[in-house]
Structure 1
Amino acid sequence: MINSLRKTRPHSTLSIALAWAAVVCGCGEPAATPPAATTPAVATSQPSAPAPAPAEKPKAVAESEAPKPAAPAPEGMAWIPGGEFTMGTNDPDAHDSERPAHRVEVGSFWIDATEVTNAQFRKFVEATGYKTTAERPVDWEVMKTQLPAGTPKPPDDQLGAGSLVFTPPAGALPPGGLDDISNWWRWVLGADWKHPEGPGSSIEGKDESPVVHVSFDDADAYAKWAGKRLPTEAEWERASRGGVDGRKFGWGDVFAPEGKRLANTWQGRFPEVVEDQDGYPRISPVKSFPPNPYGLYDTIGNVWEWCSDWYRPDTYRLDGEVDLTVNPKGPEKSYDPDEPFQPKRVTRGGSFLCSSNYCSNYRPSARRGTATDSGMSHLGFRCVKDAGAK
């Protein structure tokens, strides 16, 4: 069974991320389905064929029928033709938040061919003077609104600027094993996009690596500055699937065809044993692995990517019996039964921490909720632009 079913919490606020709380997670999936939904999703009912059964063979996009771009490609972006596709999965081994498979239609759009890099993010910061969430002290007054009533204030020395850094154990896993995510995540004061491992570390020589330690607000601010926006999760999945429905992974149904690794995922036994099988034991520079049929790199693995949708584990069930959902933008607000006070947005794609022995989120249908103020060692983004936008 897919190990993403392990019941660990997907993320937390920066406050909960502090060592004293230890309730964040690295590559875990959302908890079980919450109570019956009360917030309607954005959907339009139209006559259409029902979602295909899991056994249905992959179906490629008829390129001759797909809409073509009316203008040259913006620099560094790839064209995604509008149309229908099957979103999610009916695979019984997948996490419940990925089901049911359902038909979705999205319009055409442009999307960054790669995750936003350190070099690109640096241009934004230099042009605007922007300070990321991880570079600002934690505001306890804001933080406590996202926690259960009565949660004690953490020590003042833990409320400084910082972020979550992946810190694998030296040797065997401590007590708690894979059920205790504090065994590999550490709140580090001074960690941010320029210092990904904390004070003393840097991104020198890593211009082409994805920027990390960016919150949702950081990603959204960059997108607006660049004249773009963050993708909806429907747009993201449409792009990640590369025009083919029904595949388990972004490239087919075999994880490593003929032994070739096609995405940057964990190599070895997570988290204590890493085997450098491809030269990238952690984050890899963009374009280190082959692109998908749409010309996109690293939509699977490397770093998780922010989407614009609010997160709910039951998003796909909010629509009820709808044949076709058109340009969905997600629920009106987030809800995660594990952390009901915490606003979360959808993140997609998995990361270099995804592994067969802990969480196999290296699939186009995999999704999770991430606290909007979270920054982490394996969290980045890419942007989209509407068709016809200049």
Structure 2
Amino acid sequence: MTKDTKQGSCCSPARRAGADAPPAAPIVTCGSRIPEDALRIPGGRSLTGTNHPEILHDGEDPFRNTRVTPFRIGATTVTNAQFAAFIRDTNYLTEAERFGWSFVFWMQVPEALGPTLGVKDVEWWRRVDGANWRDINGPGTMETAWRPDHPVVHVSWNDAQAYAKWAGGRLPTEIEWEHAARGGLGDVRFPWGDREPDDATFQPCNIWQGDFPKTNSAKDGFVTTAPARHYEPNGYGLYNVVGNVWEWTADAYRIKSLKKHVRQRLAAMKGYKLSKGGSFLCHASYCYRYRIAARSGTSPDSTTTHQGFRVVWSE
């Protein structure tokens, strides 16, 4: 049974700010900065998608066989410490900083900030002035919310592209991302196999437990992000491939469909980029997108408390 009728979007809302952020300074590639723990992913036969989609009209199907060349990929999503090194080296200003605000999940907004503006139909997303990759939950929250070993958040697709260029790499394609996420297991739903996470006894990744968006029991140990290197890695050694934070890919968000309402939705998402993996806000009852084949489209300037990325390097 598909869960399409129950699937809303805990994913990233679009800014719709009406104006572009001031331009960022250009980033110059200064050689390759492949981290010591980058993993070599073997090439060959690669599996993408599924013939058993759970969320209709997300483009999860069909299941297809492709081929991929070997590449290297970060064992983790880019961490705050790694992103801070990039900022020190380049003086780059993220889009959240240039816009002057970003989206924060309602539970993370400090009461001291006072009233915030919600997003229509997804009121749990709040516009918070001064929120960015340092001050994750709003002005003055770096000391309480920022951790060097956690994934960097409040990064747009454009920010992720800039970091990847600086690191001498790039963002993964969807095919590369799924190939790495499967960890050599083949046609499986999750990086560890097919066993479903639940709210009681099995929490192999950082997702929501409880009644979204009201109550999170944090049975997995985390209300928001977990350290980037946490839980058991998959067969290739990747950590937190699903859950924790959404991961930007290099690809545009596209769906092949002849249905009018799908084409109309896609027309409103022109220019959106593809994200994979789900986040700490996903739950089977609402946003069942922490499966390998699941996918989401996000505006390239969108920044939130649950969006990150990892880098690949071609061989």
The TM-score bracket by the shorter chain reads 0.7 to 0.9
Write the distance in 2 (CA, Å) between the matches of 1:167 and 1:200. Answer: 17
Contact 1:168 1:185 in 2 (8 A): no
Q: Which residue matches 2:56? A: 95
Partner of 1:183, secondary structure, is: strand
Task: State the TM-score, normalized to the length of structure 1.
Answer: 0.67
Q: Which residue matches 1:199? A: 139
Contact 2:14 2:301 in 1 (8 A): yes
Write the distance in 2 (CA, Å) between the matches of 1:123 and 1:272. Answer: 36
The code of the aligned residue for 1:368 comes to S
Match of 2:158 among 217, 228, 234: 217
1:2–1:187 CA distance, 2 compared to 1 (3 A):
farther
Q: Which residue matches 1:76? A: 37
Q: 1:138-149 alignment to 2 at 5 Å?
A: none
Write the distance in 1 (CA, Å) between the matches of 2:40 and 2:293. Answer: 21
Larger Rg: 1
1:112–1:301 CA distance, 2 compared to 1 (3 A):
same
Write the distance in 1 (CA, Å) between the matches of 2:4 and 2:307. Answer: 17
Corresponding residue pairs, total:
284
Match of 2:243 among 301, 306, 325: 301
Deviations 1:332-353 (A, max 9, x none): xxx8725526411110000000
Contact 1:134 1:192 in 2 (8 A): yes
Deviations 1:299-351 (A, max 9, x none): 1100000000111122xx79xxxxxxxxxxxxxxxx87255264111100000
Contact 2:133 2:152 in 1 (8 A): yes
Answering whether residue 272 of structure 2 is matched by residue 347 of structure 1, we say no
Q: 1:136-285 alignment to 2 at 5 Å?
A: 136-137=98-99, 161-168=100-107, 181-202=121-142, 206-256=147-197, 259-285=201-227
Task: State the TM-score, normalized to the length of structure 2.
Answer: 0.83
Write the distance in 2 (CA, Å) between the matches of 1:80 and 1:115. Answer: 16
Write the distance in 2 (CA, Å) between the matches of 1:183 and 1:378. Answer: 16
- In angstroms, what is the RMSD of aligned CA positions? 2.7
Q: Which residue matches 2:22? A: none
Write the distance in 1 (CA, Å) between the matches of 2:17 and 2:63. Answer: 33
Q: Report the CA distance between 1:108 and its aligned residue.
A: 0.4
Q: Report the CA distance between 1:259 and its aligned residue.
A: 2.6
Contact 1:169 1:183 in 2 (8 A): no
1:346–1:112 CA distance, 2 compared to 1 (3 A):
same
Write the distance in 2 (CA, Å) between the matches of 1:376 and 1:86. Answer: 30
1:307–1:127 CA distance, 2 compared to 1 (3 A):
same
Q: Report the CA distance between 1:183 and its aligned residue.
A: 2.4
Write the distance in 2 (CA, Å) between the matches of 1:169 and 1:228. Answer: 32
Q: Report the CA distance between 1:297 and its aligned residue.
A: 0.2
Write the distance in 1 (CA, Å) between the matches of 2:173 and 2:189. Answer: 21
Of the structure 1 ranges 101-110 and 204-213, higher mean CA displacement relative to structure 2 is found in 204-213
Q: Which residue matches 1:34? A: none
Runs of at least 5 residues in structure 2 that lack an aligned partner in the other structure: 19-33, 110-118
